[in-house]
Amino acid sequence: MSDCLFCKIVAGEIPCGKVYEDDEVLAFHDIHPFARVHFLIIPKAHVASLADCTTGHGMLLGKMLLLAPRLAREQGLDAGFKTLINTGRGGGQEVFHIHIHVFGGGDPVKRS
């Protein structure tokens, strides 16, 4: 997807504050954090949203979700963290390349 912001980050065309990378997944700091720690976990392959996932994406989604506690701990969120997946315009999604928000730290986050 040549016009997708997160695909451009995956391609290295736009810089990011990398948290984690492997052959399938990238995690990087959110540019407008709403907590002391706030990063995004994305698949390298373009998938627009959770609503566009099929059973074939199950392993990838599971891998992304299981990375959240590991990376959160590595970012110092020992006391816990929030996860958020905005889906579709009605769900507040602004970047249409699926991503899991992981955030926390500072005062307890009561809501997103």
Rg of the chain on CA atoms, in Å: 13
Q: Is 1 helix (H, G, I), strand (E, B) or coil?
A: coil
Rounded least distance, CB 68 to ligand AMP, Å? 15
For position 95 contacting ligand AMP by CB under 6 A, the verdict is: yes
For position 97 contacting Zn ion by CB under 5 A, the verdict is: yes
For position 3 contacting ligand AMP by CB under 6 A, the verdict is: no
Rounded least distance, CB 47 to Zn ion, Å? 8
In the bound state with ligand AMP, the residue whose beta carbon lies nearer, of 26 and 77, is 26
Rounded least distance, CB 21 to Zn ion, Å? 16
Residue 43 C-alpha from the chain's centroid: 8
Among positions 58, 76, 92, 108, the unique one binding ligand AMP when judged by CB under 6 A: 92
Q: Where in the sequence numbering do the catalytic residues fall?
A: 99
Residue 110 C-alpha from the chain's centroid: 19
DSSP structure class, residue 100 = E
Phi, psi of 84 (to 5 degrees): -150, 135
